[in-house]
Amino acid sequence: MTSAAVSSPSVPGELALAAGQRRAWFLHDRAPADPDLNVGVTYRLTGALDAERLRAAVGAVVARHEALRTVYGSGADGDPYRIVLDT
């Protein structure tokens, strides 16, 4: 299987939040212990597990999707921002 190259974000550093991200940030800020925005999933694997191949596969997915490398914070003024981490 091959995959197309994915470009990095055009602007490094702190980025503004999209409307949906701002809403999720606001809800979490008001009730940080509320798990409503979390999705828990469990997978049962059978057979031999090649941990290195699994690690490489998860790493490839994270490298390809910037949403999985995004962290959120808020500035001194309280405004939220996001930063996309390098792979």
According to the model, what pLDDT value does residue 18 have? 94
Q: Are 62 and 54 in contact (CB under 8 A)?
A: no
Q: What is the pLDDT of residues 3-31, one digit of tens each?
A: 665 555 555 789 999 999 999 999 999 99
Give me the percent of the chain exceeding a pLDDT of 90: 75
Put simply, whether the predicted model's pTM sits higher than 0.85 gets the answer no
H/E element holding 27?
Answer: helix 19-30
Higher model confidence: residue 5 or residue 56?
56
pLDDT over 60 at 32, yes or no: yes
